[in-house]
Amino acid sequence: MTPRRTLLKSAAAAFALSLATPALVQAKEPIPIVATFSILGDMVARIGGEHVAVTTLVGPDGDAHVYQPTPADARAVSTADVLFVNGLEFEGWIDRLIDASDFGGTRVVATTGIEAIPFEEGDDHHDEHGDDDHAEHGHDDHAKDKHDEHGHDDHAGHDHGAFDPHAWQSLENAVTLENAVTYVDNITAALAQADPANAADYYKNRAAYVAEIEALDAELLALMQALPENARTVVTSHDAFGYFAARYGLTFEAPIGLSTESEASAADVAKLIVQIRKEKISAVFVETITDNRLMEQIVRETGAQIGGTLYSDALSGPDGPASTYLDMMRHNATTLSQALGS
Ligand code: ZN
């Protein structure tokens, strides 16, 4: 028997050993990971399992578009081996947070490889309003941040907010079968690289997760295809459901644009009210991350009903109906189906 095994005879001795030799224990500890928002954090936790300790910056019901990072966030980023971000301009504050921290790990853009939906200028209020905001904001960012080090992927070749960042809102994509699976593949590859000893476990978790994603995608397609053709237009607060719309055959209208940073103008709201009346849109959905007074006003003025609550950019708390990414997708589809199918 080796001296070490003798020491491990009792739990107390093992604890003493763990205090005395942190390096030995550290090798078995989960690797520190940061994910920017709850949906991404859940995906990382599914792939990483027991091997990762995930800190999520923007928690349940939080709005990542307008998030203000805290000193605790900077500390979490400083100690992270891997930082997962959505990209596509979703986290406008991430470069400043990284600059304010002592981050020496790998930054992974989870949407890399996804065929992003371009922002349709000209058929949205966004080009009339909000442009000034975005131009100023964008220039500031570009001047201050070190884009040659970080963020090449999400800044090169297009203007601020030129693509819809909400790519998690589709489980799959009719053409390339990507979206959620692309997130999962990017996460799996990054974890396997950061922690090669457990790579086999990450790929095993990936396979189980992808099977669930594919099964749920088929379930959602069937549910949405069962809706009457003339009951597939819905109204939400902000344009978060472009990928869902493209995959599952619905049309979403929203008074606020792609980011909750912008505000709906009176003219936009009036136009939407006219459209709801003209097209006899019967259901308006509230979101957990946005102020719902605007939607309540729209409901009062059109006679439409509140069809339910959709989770756009954040999960619910652990006791809510959308505490995981897959539960969120199922909840949204079920809520839409119940409101539109009746
Ligand atoms: Zn959003």
Buried b (16+ CB within 10 A) or exposed e, 57-80: bbebbbbbbebebeeebbebbbeb
Angle formed by the axes of helices 199-225 and 325-341, to 10°? 0
CA–centroid distance, residue 65 to ligand 1 (Å): 6
CA–centroid distance, residue 3 to ligand 1 (Å): 57
In this predicted model, what pLDDT tens digit does every residue of 168-205 receive, in sequence order?
999 987 665 579 999 999 999 999 999 999 999 999 99
CA–centroid distance, residue 172 to ligand 1 (Å): 19
CA–centroid distance, residue 71 to ligand 1 (Å): 24
For residue 77, the model assigns a pLDDT of: 98
Stated pTM of the model? 0.81
In this predicted model, what pLDDT tens digit does every residue of 87-140 receive, in sequence order?
999 999 999 999 999 999 999 999 999 989 997 654 444 333 333 333 333 333
Instruction: Report d(CA 122, CA 243) in Å as an integer.
Output: 19
CA–centroid distance, residue 205 to ligand 1 (Å): 28
In this predicted model, what pLDDT tens digit does every residue of 248-268 receive, in sequence order?
999 999 998 889 888 888 998
CA–centroid distance, residue 9 to ligand 1 (Å): 54
Q: Please give the CATH topology (third level) of the domain spanning 215-340.
A: Rossmann fold (3.40.50)
- The encoded tokens of residue 329 equal 């997708």
What are the domain boundaries of the chain? 31-211, 215-340
CA–centroid distance, residue 90 to ligand 1 (Å): 8
Judge whether residue 84 has pLDDT over 60.
yes
CA–centroid distance, residue 35 to ligand 1 (Å): 16
Task: Please tell me if the domain spanning 31-211 has the same topology as the one spanning 215-340.
Answer: yes
CATH code given to domain 31-211? 3.40.50.1980
Instruction: Report d(CA 87, CA 108) in Å as an integer.
Output: 9
For residue 342, the model assigns a pLDDT of: 65
CA–centroid distance, residue 226 to ligand 1 (Å): 27
In this predicted model, what pLDDT tens digit does every residue of 268-295 receive, in sequence order?
899 999 999 998 888 899 999 888 889 9
CA–centroid distance, residue 84 to ligand 1 (Å): 17
Please report which confidence band the pLDDT of residue 45 belongs to, taking 50, 70 and 90 as the band edges: very high
For residue 176, the model assigns a pLDDT of: 58
